[in-house]
Every structure is written in C-alpha cells, then in structure tokens.
C-alpha cells in the first residue's frame, strides 16, 4: 500500500462502536498530520450509524413515540377533558418522520467525521493479513488500508429461525418490522425479548392483532427482573397483546397469502398452528463477521460467534481490538459506545475503563421498563443478604397528576453495607429515571445516600428516592 493508505487506526464498521471509536480517535489526535490521515472508518452500508441509527434504536423509538401518541389520542383523551375529532393513521407519513430522524442523525455523524479528520471509506473491509484490510469500494474498485492499530466493530445480525425464510415483507426481522407498508391484521412475534415487545407494541397500537410466542415462562429477555416482567406482561396484555409463554415455535410455512407457524409447549405436548399476515422473528441477535476474512489471520471466535478478546479488547494479535455487538457483553448501543472510548484510550494512553456492572437496560414500551445492576434472582443466587424497597407510582404525586400510575420502582440493596445492588423500574419515564440509578451504582452509593438526597417535587424521580427509603426505613407516601 502507498503511504497515504497508512493509518494509526483502521476501524472496520461504522456503527455506534465504530463511529464513536473513529471520532474519539480523531479527538485524541490520531488524525491528520500533514497529508497523512491517520484514522479511517470502513462502512459497507452506505450510511454511518450501523444497526442502531439505521434499523435499530432510532427508527424503533420514532415509531414507538408516534404510535404511542396515536394510541393515546384514540384511547386516552376523554378522561383528560380533551374531545378529539376524527383520528386517522397516515402510515406513510409516520414512516417518513422516522426516516427524517434517521437521515438527520446519520448525516450528523458524517459531519463529525469531517470535523475530526476521520477518513470515511465506503465499502466492505476484509483482512488480507494482520496489518492490511482490503476494501471493496461501494462505487467500484478496491483499496488497501494499512493500520498500526485495527478495531473490529462489525456488529450483529438477527438470528434466523431455521425453516422460515426471511423476505422482510411477510416473514420479517426487526428490519422489516420497522418498514411494513400496511398494518397487518394478524401478526405473530417469535420471541418475547425486547425487540419482540417493542415491535409488538408498535403494530398492536396501530390495530394489528398481535400474539407473542415466548419459549421461557417470562417475557423481557435476559436480565429483566421477574416481578417487573410479570407486571409488564399484565400491562401489555391489557393493551391487547396476547402471549403464549412456555411455548416454542417448531416450524412454519408460507402459503403465499398466509404464514403459518406451529407451536408447542416448551416442555413438549400441546400443539397448535397460528396463522398470520406477518411473522416477526425476534429470537436474539448474533455477531456478524461474514466476509471479514478472519480465516486469513486466524482470529478466534467462541461457540456463539463472538470474537475472543482480553480485558483491553485485544485479540491474540495485540494491535487488533474488538468492540460492540460482535464480542462479549450485552448487545446495546451505549455499551458499544463506552467500549469505543475505552479502546481508543487504551491505544493512546495505555489505560481505559468500562464498568460492566453499571450498564442500564431500557425497554421502550409504554410504560417503559428499565433496570441497572443485578436482578433479585441473581442476587439471591449470589448468596448475598439483601433488602428490597418497593414504591408504586400509584403513590407518586406526579404520576397521579399525569393519570399514569401503573408500575413501581424496586430497589435492592446489600443488607450489610446498604450499597445499591440493583434498580428495576416499570413506569412512566423509567428510561430517563434509570440514569440516576446508574450514577448511584457507578459511585457505589448506598440506598440511604439516595434517600437523603433532596428530589424535586412533584417529580416521578421521587418514587426512586422513596423506594430507597423503603429498603432501610419506611417510604413516607406509601
Ligand atoms: P452495528 O450497529 O451492527 O454496526 C456494525 C456496522 O458494521 C454495520 O453498519 C455494518 O454494515 C458494518 N460492517 C459489518 N461488517 C463490515 C465489513 N466487513 N466492512 C465494512 N463494514 C462492515 N440498543 C440500545 O442500546 N438501545 C435501543 O433502543 C436499541 N434498540 C434496538 C432496536 C432494534 C430493532 C435492534 C435490531 C437493535 C437495537 N439496539 C438497541 C441494539 C443496538 O442497535 C446495537 O447494540 C448497536 O447497534 C451495536 O453497535 P455496533 O457498532 O457494535 O454494531
Ligand atoms: P433477546 O435475547 O432479548 O430475546 C429473545 C427472546 O426470544 C428470548 O426471550 C428467548 O427466550 C426467545 N426465544 C428464543 N428462541 C425462541 C423460540 N424458538 N421460540 C420462542 N421464543 C424464543 O433478543 P431480541 O429481542 O431479538 O434482541 C436482540 C438484541 O438487541 C438484544 O441484545 C437487545 O438487548 C438488543 N435490543 C435492545 C433494545 C433496547 O435496548 N431497547 C431494543 C431492541 C433490541
């Protein structure tokens, strides 16, 4: 390769992990010196932002917000003293609004790349050897980049369901479910994890008859506290979503007009067939490393396809690091972002840090579900003595004025040290409120620290303070 193709850092993948690493590298001075551009980010999609911005977090939150508004206007205005006239869905416009948000944000990253002198290379990257990545450029031709450091940030893809051929129109992953052209009459969702429940909410609010089939006896996917999951299921059922728990899909077929899926009790036994216009496969995601040429450099992947790394994100080739969905840890955008910053700090300064014990999770249904730290079952299993403080939103004044009183805050603390071990919230604004809990855990706060911190009145966050109070004393308002 010529000298102009030589970089301090070459990043493969322009998703949250990759683009944040690129910007951080630029800021850290791993950037243009004389004519030498020293940070390059390779992305094959034709747009930056990866799954999250293009077909994940952002479009799903746009649809969740606007379908909630639509649903609320249809069903939740009268008691508030608002009489509305004819309410009509304009799905095409709703999809345009979604695209406007996506486009604005992806273009914003292109601007940040320019601002931080990051070389944006559009194409598919694959390893030639440990220091060289060949890029098949999107507009034809190829080029080889040589990196002193290389970061793999190639993300993940939906796990397919054997026997159901994804066409993204009738048998869809989340990608197709974010762009349906009409509201399906009947929708079957395979998998009651976060994707399943967020997408079930979107289409159910718009009028689809939605059934979620979940293998386990609990919805919400890994991590969600059982008590919270139970409450979430109750609320979502009340909203019209049907659930088949402890049930697995065995196979399916597409007649051209109807997609049928056969299900049976997870433990064996009762079988039934569910017919639908649209079937969403949401049984998890798996690391994406296809076409990356890993075989050319012999990097190790584990049984779940995750690239194997050490604590500093290094593969066995120590100048090649891996961050985000294609390696260990929760598949979350903010986790990818933290790792991106830490990986660049390791390269530049030799040290970095991510606290994996303080990564929040949010499910953006209505109401939202959010948690950070360990759930009760995990704490019980660890053998630590603990106390639980519960505070219902029905006793919170702001929730009362908003006429949104479903849900509660559950705070679990160490019975001996009072340190907060986990916070689990189901209720209005849970996704914002969890930031305070995350900060508390990050700083090693005790529940008394939180309970003795003055919270503004009337706010939903007072429910968090009172749940903390309830662990070692009594909540005032409940
Ligand atoms: P990705 O975002 O997948 O980015 C990887 C990029 O690498 C892709 O753009 C891909 O095209 C590119 N690439 C791959 N191989 C190559 C190659 N060889 N050469 C060049 N480019 C390559 N997380 C949250 O925290 N909050 C949410 O609300 C949320 N909502 C979600 C909703 C949905 C429907 C989905 C599917 C996911 C959601 N997630 C959410 C998860 C989040 O999207 C991921 O955790 C995040 O995108 C991971 O970032 P990443 O950079 O590791 O991978
Ligand atoms: P998930 O792992 O959260 O849930 C998948 C669910 O499918 C599990 O509950 C599992 O028991 C079930 N399942 C698996 N096989 C099944 C089968 N054959 N029949 C019935 N049920 C089956 O995965 P997901 O919901 O697909 O999400 C993928 C990733 O994307 C997750 O890591 C998630 O954190 C991330 N994500 C995050 C957000 C968010 O943060 N708001 C939103 C969407 C996606």
pLDDT digits (tens, 9 = 90+) for 309-342: 999 999 999 999 999 999 999 999 999 999 999 9
CA distance 433 to 418: 21
Q: What does the angle CA 94 – CA 98 – CA 100 come to, to the nearest 5 degrees? A: 115
SS3 439: helix
Contacts of 335 (CB under 8 A, 6+ apart): 324, 329, 354, 359
Statement: residue 158 has pLDDT above 80 = yes
CA distance 308 to 329: 12
Neighbours of 7 (CB within 10 A): 26
Q: Which of 68, 75, 424, 457 is an active site residue?
A: 457
Of the pLDDT bands very low, low, confident and very high (cuts 50, 70, 90), residue 221 is very high
Model pLDDT, residue 269: 79
Statement: residue 227 has pLDDT above 60 = yes
Q: Which two tokens stand for residue 418?
A: 């009072």
CA distance 83 to 345: 56
Q: Is 289 within 8 Å of 199 (Cβ atoms)?
A: no
Statement: residue 32 has pLDDT above 70 = no
Is residue 334 part of the annotated active site? The answer reads no
Model pLDDT, residue 2: 45
Mean pLDDT of 285-309: 97
pLDDT digits (tens, 9 = 90+) for 362-412: 999 999 999 999 999 999 999 999 999 999 999 999 999 999 999 999 999
pLDDT digits (tens, 9 = 90+) for 38-89: 899 999 999 999 999 999 999 999 999 999 999 999 999 999 999 999 999 9
- Check residue 421 and report its DSSP letter: E
CA distance 54 to 349: 32
Model pLDDT, residue 35: 43
Return the best residue to mutate from 135, 155, 193 for the ligand 1 pocket (most ligand atoms within 8 A of CB).
Answer: 155
pLDDT digits (tens, 9 = 90+) for 183-212: 999 999 999 999 999 999 999 999 999 999
pLDDT digits (tens, 9 = 90+) for 240-265: 999 999 999 999 999 888 999 999 99
Q: Where are the beta strands (DSSP E) in 348-469?
A: 361-363, 368-373, 386-392, 408-414, 420-427
Q: Where are the beta strands (DSSP E) in 159-307?
A: 171-172, 186-190, 209-213, 242-244, 247-254, 259-265, 271-276, 278-281, 285-287
Model pLDDT, residue 29: 79
Neighbours of 82 (CB within 10 A): 9
Pocket of ligand 1 (CB under 6 A): 12-18, 42-45, 50-52, 56-57, 60, 124-126, 153-156, 174, 195, 288, 291-292, 324-325, 331-334, 336
Neighbours of 435 (CB within 10 A): 14
């Amino acid at each position: 390769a010529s000298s102009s193709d030589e970089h301090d850092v070459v990043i493969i993948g322009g998703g949250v992990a990759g683009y944040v690493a690129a910007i951080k590298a630029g800021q850290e001075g791993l950037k243009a010196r004389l004519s030498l551009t020293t940070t390059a980010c390779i992305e094959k999609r034709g747009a930056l932002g990866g799954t999250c911005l293009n077909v994940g977090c952002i479009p799903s939150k746009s649809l969740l917000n606007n379908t909630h508004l639509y649903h609320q206007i249809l069903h939740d205005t009268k008691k508030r003293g608002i009489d509305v006239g004819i309410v009509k869905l304009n799905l095409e416009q709703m999809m345009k609004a979604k695209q406007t948000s996506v486009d604005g944000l992806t273009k914003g990253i292109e601007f940040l790349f320019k601002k931080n002198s990051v070389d944006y290379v559009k194409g598919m990257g694959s390893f030639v050897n440990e220091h060289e990545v060949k890029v098949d450029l999107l507009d034809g031709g190829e080029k080889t980049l040589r990196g002193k450091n290389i970061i793999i940030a190639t993300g993940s893809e939906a796990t397919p369901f054997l026997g159901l051929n994804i066409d993204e129109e009738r048998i869809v992953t989340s990608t197709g479910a974010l762009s349906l052209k009409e509201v399906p009459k009947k929708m079957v969702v395979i998998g009651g994890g976060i994707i399943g429940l967020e997408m079930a909410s979107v289409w159910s609010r718009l009028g689809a008859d939605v059934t979620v089939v979940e293998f386990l006896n609990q919805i919400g996917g890994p991590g969600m506290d059982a008590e919270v999951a139970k409450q979430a299921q109750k609320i979502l059922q009340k909203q019209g979503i049907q659930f088949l728990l402890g049930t697995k899909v065995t196979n399916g077929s597409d007649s051209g007009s109807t997609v049928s899926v056969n299900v049976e009790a997870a433990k064996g036994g009762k079988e039934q067939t569910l017919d639908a216009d649209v079937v969403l496969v949401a049984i998890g995601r798996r690391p994406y490393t296809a076409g990356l040429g890993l075989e050319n450099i012999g990097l190790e992947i584990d049984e779940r396809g995750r690239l194997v790394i050490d604590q500093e994100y290094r593969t066995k080739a120590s100048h090649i690091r891996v961050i985000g969905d294609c390696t260990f840890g929760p598949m979350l955008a903010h986790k990818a972002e933290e790792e991106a910053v830490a990986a660049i700090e390791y390269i530049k300064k030799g040290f970095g840090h991510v606290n994996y014990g303080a990564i929040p999770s949010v499910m953006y249904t209505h109401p939202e579900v959010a948690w950070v730290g360990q759930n009760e079952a995990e704490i019980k299993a660890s053998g630590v003595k603990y106390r639980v403080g519960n505070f219902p939103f029905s006793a919170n004044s702001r929730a009362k004025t908003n006429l949104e009183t479903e849900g509660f805050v559950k705070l679990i603390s160490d019975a001996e040290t009072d340190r907060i071990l986990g916070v689990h919230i189901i209720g209005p604004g849970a996704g914002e409120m969890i930031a305070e809990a995350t900060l508390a855990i990050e700083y090693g706060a005790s529940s008394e620290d939180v309970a003795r911190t003055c919270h503004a009145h009337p706010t939903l966050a007072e429910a968090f303070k009172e749940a903390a109070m309830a662990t070692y004393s009594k909540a005032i308002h409940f």
